[in-house]
Amino acid sequence: MDHFNSKGMSSGASHKLRVEQLKAKDERPNILLIMTDQQRSDTIHAGGAEFMKTPNMDRLAKGGRLYKNAYSPNPICMPARHNMLTGLTARYHGYPDNCWGFGMPDGLPTFPEILSDNGYETRTIGKNHFYPPRRHNGYLNMELMQEVPAFREQDEYLLYLKKNGLGHIQNIHGVRNLLYMVPQQSQIPDEHHGTTWAADRTIDFIETNNGRHPWMLKLGWIAPHPPFDVSEEHSNLYKDADLPEPHVSETKLSSLAEENKLLGDLPTPEYVRRMRELYYGAISHIDFNLGRILDSLEATGQMDNTLIIFTSDHGEMLGDYGTYQKWLPYDSCSKIPLILHFPPRITAGETVDEFADLNDILPTLLDAAGLEYPGKHSLPGESLISDNLVKDRNHQYVEYSEGNRRWISLRDRHYKYNYYFGGPREELFDLESDPGECRNLMEATLSQNAEIAYIHLKEELKKTESRWGIEGTVQNNDFIKLDPFVPKPYRNHAFPLFPSKLTNEKEKARMNSHFDEVLAATADEPLVHFDDLDMKAWQKNGNYTDREIKDLLKKEKDNKL
């Protein structure tokens, strides 16, 4: 006896239809989402950075659309990535800052989950910054490459290195602690470098899935995030280049920016210059491998049927105003690269000045796949390939953290206004006359135009914060008052984790000495001398003895004679 479904179709007929559907070729486009880590917007030749060597990013832009005013909605790793993952702000996904120890709330749809549920083969390769690291968040398959993996068995790149005779290396992505921002070079050959490995795995996926079914692959490169462990082939690419100088602020910086300064341990301008060379070299290394991936798409005939999005989670201060890393409202770290390539719906060679951000990624992916968002919340972003655009792109909102560490920012075409809850502090920049954000207009008498802009942006920011920001930060149509933020400067103290978790004692014994790797990473960097650096902080963070530090300094001196 046949059973009938809600559409009046018998179970046998339903099964037959399902078989026919599986046989039919699914013509929906593939999706390749590429995210670098900590790449500034001003690092692509096609985007105006004439000193940069990025022929393949330029190639992607030439065939697609380059956004000149794209932003990270929260310029630090976990929040930015969870905004992109869910299409929602920290108010909903729960990550206003880098926060470990909990996952997202239940019931928030993610783009890999939605695409997986609708017939897409979904995979992520490289960095995601999820917690726990292997929480799939909707991906059908994961091949992870984490910054500081806790267990070898939870990281495909670590397993790969072991298989290829490099399992004895502890600092697989460069020495973070003592040398976090300090010039160094990779201890891993280019053919096994993390940037190369992620591209290799991506190419394998593209070739394996050619024509089988629509796929969505998210590639997460760790570079150019510090430490700048650039391969030998790219470490001196910008040695003699005419590089831009770091911005210098003419007015006082925020307390948060003052805290940020100590993240760099670069005692002279020469150190800063060399650090910048390596950062740009890491981007060109990515670019080379991007070219390999684009070649693979073309060779397999998938280029024209694949939506490619190239972007980053946030930028890098890179010494601007004497600061490093991220989590500040300035364009150096809040503005990001964004290139879309999709021949069916994007005209080649487009350059767009309007604002866009990572909140727009989820709607764009669903639009390309012909899917509706199934969640209960309204989304702050919208598809970048839609013909029915309604999002207000006259303003760009950016937020960071919570409590008195929190700041929020709103800009229009002319001005940017930043409000720090741990102030009292406000910043207003005239981006037309001061694109480097070096003069805070709030420290002088405002001109009439600046006064009008200040009032307008502050009122708009209150509305935007009330709608999308952390709940409770706006009361009685004003920002809440919090205790002043007190900077807590610190040095990076992340040491490798996985070696101590190895259970095989023979394998443990084969691991390199941490001191030997510090020496190896700087062997070809003659500028670097350990006694220039904050050895006291490193000794304290690593719990090293005076004898160990003395021996290290002697070995370094002997090596560089």
Residue given tokens 């190896």 in the structure block: 520
pLDDT (tens digit per residue) in 103-137: 788 889 999 999 999 999 999 999 999 988 899 99
pLDDT (tens digit per residue) in 253-297: 999 999 989 888 999 999 999 999 999 999 999 999 999 999 999
Domain 27-383: top CATH class = alpha beta
Q: Please answer whether residues 360 and 382 qualify as being in contact, where contact means their C-beta atoms are separated by less than 8 angstroms.
A: yes
User: What is the model's pLDDT at position 20?
Assistant: 56
User: What is the model's pLDDT at position 380?
Assistant: 97
Per-residue confidence band for 23, with pLDDT thresholds at 50, 70 and 90: low
Average pLDDT, the chain: 93
**Where is pLDDT greater, at 559 or 22?**
559
Task: Give one word for 440, left, alpha or beta, with left for phi > 0 and alpha for psi -120 to 50.
Answer: beta
Q: Is residue 9 pLDDT above 60, yes or no?
A: no
Q: Please answer whether residues 237 and 280 qualify as being in contact, where contact means their C-beta atoms are separated by less than 8 angstroms.
A: yes
pLDDT (tens digit per residue) in 287-345: 999 999 999 999 999 999 999 999 999 999 999 999 999 999 999 999 999 999 999 99
Mean pLDDT within 146-174? 96
Q: Is residue 11 pLDDT above 80, yes or no?
A: no
pLDDT (tens digit per residue) in 328-337: 999 999 999 9
CATH 3.30.1120 segments of the chain: 400-479
Mean pLDDT within 534-554? 93
Bridge partners of residue 215, in order along the sequence: 121
Helix (H, G, I), strand (E, B) or coil at 260: helix
Cα distance between residue 397 and residue 459, in whole Å: 13
Q: Which of 351, 421, 346 is CA-nearest to residue 387?
A: 346
User: What is the model's pLDDT at position 2?
Assistant: 47
Positive or negative, the Cα torsion across 508, 514, 516, 520? positive
Per-residue confidence band for 6, with pLDDT thresholds at 50, 70 and 90: very low
Give strand ranges (E) for 12-88: 30-36, 65-71
Mean pLDDT within 201-211? 92
pLDDT (tens digit per residue) in 472-482: 999 999 999 99
User: What is the model's pLDDT at position 558?
Assistant: 87
Q: Which two tokens stand for residue 232?
A: 């030998």
User: What is the model's pLDDT at position 104?
Assistant: 85
User: What is the model's pLDDT at position 106?
Assistant: 87
Q: Please answer whether residues 261 and 324 qualify as being in contact, where contact means their C-beta atoms are separated by less than 8 angstroms.
A: yes
Share of the chain above pLDDT 90, in %: 86
Q: Is the pTM of this model over 0.85?
A: yes
Q: Is residue 386 pLDDT above 60, yes or no?
A: yes
Q: Which two tokens stand for residue 365?
A: 């992916």
Residue given tokens 């108010």 in the structure block: 91
User: What is the model's pLDDT at position 237?
Assistant: 95
Cα distance between residue 124 and residue 1, in whole Å: 45
Stated as kind and residue range, the H or E segment containing 419 is strand 415-420
Mean pLDDT within 194-219? 94
CATH number of 400-479: 3.30.1120
CB under 8 Å to 329, separation ≥6 — which residues?
75, 398, 400, 407, 409, 416, 418, 427
Share of the chain above pLDDT 70, in %: 95
CATH 3.40.720.10 segments of the chain: 27-383
User: What is the model's pLDDT at position 161?
Assistant: 98
User: What is the model's pLDDT at position 211?
Assistant: 76
Residue given tokens 């989670």 in the structure block: 313
pLDDT (tens digit per residue) in 367-382: 999 999 999 999 999 9
Q: Is residue 533 pLDDT above 70, yes or no?
A: yes
The total of other beta-carbon atoms located within 10 Å of residue 490's CB is 11
Per-residue confidence band for 405, with pLDDT thresholds at 50, 70 and 90: very high
Per-residue confidence band for 203, with pLDDT thresholds at 50, 70 and 90: very high
